[in-house]
Amino acid sequence: MRRAAGDAAQGYVRSHASEYHLFSAGGHLAAQTATHFDAGNPAAQDTIERASSRPDFAILSCPVIGPLGGRAKWNFENILDQEPSAKQIEELSPDLHVTRETPTTFIMQSDDDETVSAMNSIHSYAALKAAGVPAELQVYRTGGQVADWRRWMWFSPRTRCEWLIG
């Protein structure tokens, strides 16, 4: 059920992206998944409910972590409503929910991204390091919103696999 709900949430956001003026909510949803998980319920009948929902790793590209300036602030407000409460902002700010159990995380961001301030990635990285989570942050001087995944693909498959397995 949990994973189906996550899939449904991502589908909902994508299907309403133009209405909410979102470029992508993938970074935010990946960060939420990496910080809001449970160990599963060993007594559950359903095998999915028995399994942990914790991902083994997270790769975040230009993640909207909180209402930290630029269009990210505007997008964050639109995900909630025009005047989000402090409680809503806290619940949907993944950097405030990082624990030692948060999976190893790779974050990539372009400094010239006009949609999502690099401060989102910096806050996320700082929270990961403060909790003792293995993390890497790559901030590129140029590239805008879409260049980050292209850069990730430039790494050789061996380099990507080496990073993923630690």
State the pTM of this model: 0.76
Domain that includes residue 82, residue range: 2-165
Rounded-to-integer distance, Cα 57 and Cα 70, Å: 28
* DSSP secondary structure letters along 129-155: HHTT--EEEEEESS-TTTHHHHHHHHS
Over the stretch 5-58, which tens digit does the pLDDT of each residue have?
655 665 666 566 566 554 455 788 889 889 998 888 999 898 888 888 898 888
C-alpha of 31 from chain center: 2
CATH at residue 69:
3.40.50.1820
Closest CA to 106 of 50, 63, 146: 63
For residue 2 the two structure tokens come to 């949990």
pLDDT average, residue stretch 62-71:
75
Over the stretch 70-114, which tens digit does the pLDDT of each residue have?
666 666 676 666 677 788 888 888 999 999 999 999 898 888 888
* pLDDT at 153 > cutoff 70: no
Instruction: Work out how many domains the chain is built from and give that number.
Output: 1
